[in-house]
């Protein structure tokens, strides 16, 4: 019946022009309505009988052509359906199902004679739309002053969000009603009174300004507010041109949000012909010592990135099944950090021999991960990027961590404006030519671009582990919000894996450099939760963040040794935003479980129905001890072994601020 209805719908739209159209999801559960009401274009969304988005206006303000928010005439419509399976070069799921129904509405603005196409897609877990300006006589170069896309929510939902900021996503999430979330970065995630989960974001951000959302006063309606250029305009473009997708994820529960591939599917297929060189890996680095204040990026007596120390980290990686080592502070220029042209990304510090360290890493079968900190000088980096990438290629370096801490050069531009969106895109495309994988810090938001450019492995764009080293830190609930907000756009380099959560075990004296009070600094989890977060906070380049001295001879290090981050499949077993989550990820035939809670201790029963039938699995369980509490006994933990089979049940006991990590391997007995 559904196929007959769809065929009739397609035929109808192909032959006629209507002022109102309806588009249904493949499972018939979500409905999008489009209408042209006296020249104003708007859409609305319903899930079952629940209104998700009330009629919401669409349009623009152009610098030269004025407002494009009314006086539209429909020239025609076109429908199509799409259903495919595609394979990603890396996880968290390698087999992706992409199914949607699409409506294209071709419009003419009767005053300016500008042609505009609206593309709507409806998936089983959400909707998306974008604007397309085709090649045309009446529009060549143009400047957007404002995008007027609205999201008129049906109610004052509970929401999780961070304040809009044109330069950073490194903020703690707030849980409030929508009415208190007046200007937000996306994703913003909401829960309706019925339990439906909704998240607003964008996909395929390539050559456009990042979108924030501003709440219209006295309403539950968000309006897109684009990050400006230094001159105050928002987007500079030439037809033909297409905007990013505006996305609305809609699911029955929190777990389904995390499992959604819709944002990924809205991006174009992979543009890299041979992806064999793109490989997930675990890594460690000369990094945490600088953040806790026992080492420095700058050359001197406490400089971390020496040749000798680098070799020590490489030795540890080789001995512990760690694929890579990042070395921050390896190059000269850190004493001029923040200044224009501080770094050249080629010249080593006086006590660091790049060629020697690179050769040593290669001999030990460890990837040396290059680090390019720009201090925000994107302009200078673009001038020097090619010789820096050529050096990486010459030395066999195939992974790179970039950084943009500080104000952007040219001054006046923002991290999340179109200037920097173009810059980040140029970096990842240039890196692909040189066989380099990217881990971007202080990045543009994640919008699923890893499908098109899978060498864009991971990025920060979150208030991560480092904040625990020099501030009051991240509360236990913080990492239980990230999977349902920031990570909906893609992998996150949060850098979990710190064992010395109280920050007490180090050889050198700590020196305060970014705080006035070292006594308040610590990691706000248990040790077992740090292991669990290595599974939960997905990154194909997954860091074990602590200094290696805290890993040596530590029994819990076996979990990080065993962890294979080249995941094939992911399942969410239970979830509640900001409270708890349990998930399993499969690499080959081995499953890894991560479960974590907020400040509330929990006992959670799970069914092991993800295991293969007819097989027995040997499990190693890393859990909080009876005495564990994140505030008082954070490093107490237990390691137990057991055997399980499909459909067994297991009770996970999580301490306050705690977690549990389990490795399930097929039994060889």
Residue 468 resides in a domain: no
pLDDT at 8: 38
Task: Using the predicted structure, report yes or no on whether residue 512 has a pLDDT greater than 80.
Answer: yes
- CA-angle at 603, arms to 598 and 604, nearest 5°: 95
Report the b/e string of 78-94 with b at 16+ CB within 10 A.
Answer: ebeeeeeeeebbbbbbb
Considering the domain architecture, whether residues 384 and 523 belong to the same structural domain is answered as: no
Q: How confident is the model at residue 668 (pLDDT cuts 50, 70, 90)?
A: confident
Mean pLDDT of 78-100: 98
Positions annotated as catalytic residues are 466
* pTM of the model as a whole: 0.96
Considering the domain architecture, whether residues 442 and 331 belong to the same structural domain is answered as: yes
Q: β-strand 158-161 against 367-373: which pairing, if any?
A: unpaired
Considering the domain architecture, whether residues 104 and 160 belong to the same structural domain is answered as: yes
The residue out of 204, 239, 265 marking a domain boundary is 265
Considering the domain architecture, whether residues 358 and 453 belong to the same structural domain is answered as: yes
**pLDDT averaged over the chain?**
96
What are the residues whose beta carbons fall under 8 Å from the beta carbon of 107, sequence distance 6 or more?
36, 41, 72, 73, 74, 75, 115, 116, 117, 118
Q: How confident is the model at residue 403 (pLDDT cuts 50, 70, 90)?
A: very high
Q: How far apart are CA 513 and CA 528, in angstroms?
A: 29
Considering the domain architecture, whether residues 510 and 619 belong to the same structural domain is answered as: yes
Mean pLDDT of 564-593: 98
Tokens 């706000």, residue?
Answer: 524
Instruction: Determine the structural domain holding residue 217 and report its residue range.
Output: 2-265
pLDDT at 325: 99
Tens digit of each residue's pLDDT (9 = 90 or more) over 272-308: 999 999 999 999 999 999 999 999 999 999 999 999 9
Residues pairing with 319 in the sheet: none
Task: Using the predicted structure, report yes or no on whether residue 263 has a pLDDT greater than 90.
Answer: yes
Mean pLDDT of 650-658: 98
Among 101, 157, 109, 160, residue whose Cα is nearest residue 129: 101
Q: How far is CA 510 from the centre of its chain?
A: 32
Task: Using the predicted structure, report yes or no on whether residue 489 has a pLDDT greater than 50.
Answer: yes
Residue 275 resides in a domain: no
Task: Using the predicted structure, report yes or no on whether residue 185 has a pLDDT greater than 60.
Answer: yes
Mean pLDDT of 96-103: 98
Mean pLDDT of 474-490: 98
Q: How confident is the model at residue 507 (pLDDT cuts 50, 70, 90)?
A: confident
Q: How far apart are CA 453 and CA 403, in angstroms?
A: 19
Considering the domain architecture, whether residues 235 and 86 belong to the same structural domain is answered as: yes
Burial label for 560, CB within 10 Å (0-12, 13-18, 19+), is buried
CATH assignment of the domain containing 354: 3.20.20.70
Tens digit of each residue's pLDDT (9 = 90 or more) over 34-48: 999 999 999 999 999
Considering the domain architecture, whether residues 285 and 255 belong to the same structural domain is answered as: no
Packing angle, helices 354-363 and 378-395, rounded to 10: 50
Task: Using the predicted structure, report yes or no on whether residue 345 has a pLDDT greater than 70.
Answer: yes
Mean pLDDT of 493-500: 98
Considering the domain architecture, whether residues 258 and 335 belong to the same structural domain is answered as: no
Considering the domain architecture, whether residues 401 and 456 belong to the same structural domain is answered as: yes
Mean pLDDT of 94-101: 98
Mean pLDDT of 557-578: 98
Residues pairing with 87 in the sheet: 95
Residue 664 resides in a domain: yes
Mean pLDDT of 150-159: 98
Considering the domain architecture, whether residues 257 and 285 belong to the same structural domain is answered as: no
pLDDT at 10: 42
pLDDT at 6: 44
pLDDT at 669: 75
The residue out of 265, 299, 327 marking a domain boundary is 265
Q: Which helix (H) or strand (E) holds 2?
A: helix 2-15
Q: How confident is the model at residue 106 (pLDDT cuts 50, 70, 90)?
A: very high
Cis status, amide bond into 187, omega within 30 of 0: yes
Tens digit of each residue's pLDDT (9 = 90 or more) over 607-620: 999 999 999 999 99
Considering the domain architecture, whether residues 444 and 315 belong to the same structural domain is answered as: yes
Number of domain units in the chain: 3
Among 86, 211, 77, residue whose Cα is nearest residue 146: 211
Q: 613 with 621: CB under 8 angstroms?
A: no
Tens digit of each residue's pLDDT (9 = 90 or more) over 6-26: 433 443 443 344 489 999 999
Q: How far apart are CA 193 and CA 632, in angstroms?
A: 37
Tens digit of each residue's pLDDT (9 = 90 or more) over 54-72: 999 999 999 999 999 999 9
Considering the domain architecture, whether residues 251 and 297 belong to the same structural domain is answered as: no
pLDDT at 188: 98
What share of the chain in percent tops pLDDT 90?
Answer: 96
Residue 491 resides in a domain: no
């Amino acid at each position: 019946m559904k196929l007959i209805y769809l065929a009739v719908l397609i035929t109808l739209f192909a032959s006629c022009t209507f002022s109102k159209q309806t588009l249904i999801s493949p499972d018939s559960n979500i409905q999008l309505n489009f209408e042209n009401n006296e020249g104003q274009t708007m859409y609305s969304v319903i899930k079952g009988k629940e209104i998700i988005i009330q009629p919401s206006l669409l349009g623009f303000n152009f610098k030269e052509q004025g407002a494009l928010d009314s006086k539209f005439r429909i020239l025609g419509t076109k429908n199509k359906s799409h259903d495919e399976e595609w394979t990603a070069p890396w996880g968290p799921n390698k087999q992706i199902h992409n199914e949607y129904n699409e409506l294209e509405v071709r419009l003419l603005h009767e005053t300016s004679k500008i042609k505009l196409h609206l593309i709507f897609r409806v998936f089983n877990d959400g909707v998306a739309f974008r604007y397309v300006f085709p090649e045309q006589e009446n529009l060549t170069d143009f400047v957007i002053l404002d995008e007027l896309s609205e999201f008129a929510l049906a109610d004052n939902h509970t929401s999780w969000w961070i304040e809009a900021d044109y330069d950073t996503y490194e903020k703690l999430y707030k849980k409030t009603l929508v009415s208190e979330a007046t200007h937000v970065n996306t994703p913003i995630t909401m829960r309706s009174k019925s339990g439906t989960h909704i998240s607003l974001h964008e996909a395929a951000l390539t050559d456009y300004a990042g979108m924030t959302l501003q709440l219209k006063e006295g309403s539950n309606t968000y309006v897109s507010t684009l990050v400006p250029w230094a001159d105050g305009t928002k987007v500079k473009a030439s037809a033909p041109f297409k905007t990013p997708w505006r996305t609305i994820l809609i699911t029955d529960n929190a777990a389904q949000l995390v499992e959604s591939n819709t944002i990924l599917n809205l991006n174009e297929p992979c543009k890299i012909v041979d992806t064999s060189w793109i490989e997930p890996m675990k890594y460690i680095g000369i990094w945490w010592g600088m953040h806790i204040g026992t080492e420095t990026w700058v050359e001197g007596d406490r400089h971390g990135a020496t040749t000798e120390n680098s070799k020590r980290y490489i030795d540890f990686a080789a001995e512990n099944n760690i694929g890579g080592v990042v070395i921050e502070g390896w190059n000269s220029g850190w004493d001029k950090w923040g200044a224009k042209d501080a770094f050249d990304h080629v010249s080593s510090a006086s006590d660091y021999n790049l060629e020697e360290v690179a050769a040593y890493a290669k001999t030990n079968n460890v990837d040396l991960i290059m680090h390019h900190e720009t201090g925000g000088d994107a302009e200078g980096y673009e001038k020097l990027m090619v010789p820096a990438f050529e050096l990486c290629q010459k030395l066999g370096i195939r992974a790179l961590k970039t950084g943009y801490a500080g104000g952007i050069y040219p001054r006046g531009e923002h991290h999340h404006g179109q200037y920097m969106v173009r810059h980040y895109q140029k970096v990842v495309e240039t890196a692909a030519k040189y066989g380099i994988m990217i881990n971007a810090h202080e990045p543009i938001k994640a919008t699923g671009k890893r499908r098109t450019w899978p060498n864009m492995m991971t990025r920060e764009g979150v208030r991560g582990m480092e904040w625990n080293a020099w501030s009051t830190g991240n509360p236990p609930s913080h990492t239980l919000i990230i999977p349902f907000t920031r990570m909906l756009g893609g992998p996150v380099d949060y850098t979990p894996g710190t064992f010395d959560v109280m920050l007490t075990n180090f050889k050198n004296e700590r020196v305060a450099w970014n705080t006035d009070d070292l006594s308040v600094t610590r990691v706000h989890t248990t040790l077992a939760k740090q292991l669990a977060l290595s599974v939960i906070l997905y990154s194909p380049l997954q860091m074990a963040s602590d200094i290696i001295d805290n890993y040596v001879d530590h029994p819990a290090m076996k979990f990080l040794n065993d962890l294979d981050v080249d995941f094939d499949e992911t399942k969410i077993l239970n979830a509640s935003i900001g409270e708890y989550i349990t998930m399993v990820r499969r690499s080959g035939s081995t499953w890894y479980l991560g479960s974590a809670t907020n400040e509330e201790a929990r006992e959670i029963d799970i069914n092991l129905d993800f295991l293969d039938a007819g097989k027995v699995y040997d499990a190693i369980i890393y859990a909080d001890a009876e005495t564990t509490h994140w505030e008082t006994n954070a490093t107490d933990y237990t390691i137990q072994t057991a055997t399980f089979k499909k459909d067994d049940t297991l009770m996970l006991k999580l301490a306050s601020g705690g977690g549990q990590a389990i490795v399930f391997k097929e039994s060889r007995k």
